[in-house]
Structures are given as structure tokens and as C-alpha cells.
């Protein structure tokens, strides 16, 4: 995923949604030193559970599902190992269908933005692969 927003209110990433909405999203903010920083935020129902700094450049967002719906999020920079982030969480089915997985890019600001995320691929692998 390539993501370099001009706006501080834009976030992009992976989501699992059913009864709960679990998100693994990249965001950008300005630190106390005035430098712009990228963070990976793990959220459950829009409440941030944890946030970690992200390296610059292209990132691979990772979702690991186990039998029974346990899942965890991670990220991987180009040619690096996967760094698992935050707690393992339980995906729960929705009212009409099971839990769904999707990609998102959303702006929480009051004005329209031209920000975007570029996702090259979305891949599923059998458990344990």
C-alpha cells in the first residue's frame, strides 16, 4: 500500500467488520517537534487500542485469521519480516452475514480532500501459510 496523505484527517488500511469493526490503519500526524510522522493505529469500534511508528515508503498490511475468528494485525516493510501490532482480537459475525474483510481510505476532516491510498493487491492464503 502506498499512502502519503496531504491531510492529517485521512486514514487508510484494512478492516474486519461484523458486530465489531476492527481496523489496521495508517495515519499521518505532526509531532511536537513539527515533524510529520506516520503511524499504524489498531482500532476496535473507532477506539484506538495502540499506535506504533511506521517506516516511510510502501507497506504491506497483514491480517492473520485463526480458526474460530481470532485475528491479529501486522505490517511489513519491503523485504522485511512481519511486525505484529496490538492485541489479538475476536472477529464476530454481523446480523445478516459473517465477518467481512475490506480495504478503506477515509477522511475525518470537515472539508473534502484529494488524498488516496493505492493498494496493489489483496491476497488470501490458507491458514498456516
Q: Are 61 and 70 contacting, i.e. CB atoms less than 8 angstroms apart? A: no
Alpha-helical (H) ranges within 68-117 are none
pLDDT at 51: 87
**Long-range contacts made by residues 72-80, C-beta under 8 angstroms, separation at least 24?**
73/14, 73/22, 73/24, 73/42, 74/24, 75/24, 75/40
Candidates 89, 117, 122; CA nearest to 17 is 89
> What is the domain partition of the chain in residue ranges?
2-99
Per-residue tens of pLDDT for the chain, all 129 residues: 888 787 777 888 998 888 888 888 888 766 677 677 788 888 989 888 988 888 888 888 888 888 788 888 988 887 788 889 888 888 877 766 677 888 988 888 788 888 888 998 888 776 666
Amino acid at each position: 500500500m502506498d499512502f502519503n496523505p496531504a491531510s492529517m484527517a485521512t486514514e487508510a488500511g484494512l478492516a474486519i467488520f461484523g458486530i465489531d469493526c476492527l481496523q489496521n490503519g495508517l495515519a499521518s500526524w505532526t509531532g511536537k517537534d513539527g515533524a510529520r510522522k506516520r503511524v499504524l493505529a489498531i482500532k476496535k469500534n473507532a477506539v484506538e487500542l495502540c499506535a506504533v511508528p511506521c517506516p516511510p515508503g510502501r507497506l504491506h498490511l497483514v491480517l492473520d485469521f485463526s480458526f474460530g475468528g481470532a485475528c491479529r494485525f501486522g505490517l511489513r516493510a519491503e523485504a522485511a519480516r512481519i511486525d505484529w501490532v496490538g492485541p489479538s482480537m475476536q472477529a464476530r459475525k454481523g446480523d445478516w452475514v459473517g465477518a467481512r474483510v475490506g480495504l478503506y481510505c477515509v477522511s475525518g476532516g470537515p472539508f473534502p480532500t484529494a488524498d488516496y491510498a493505492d493498494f496493489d493487491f489483496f491476497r488470501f492464503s490458507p491458514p498456516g501459510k
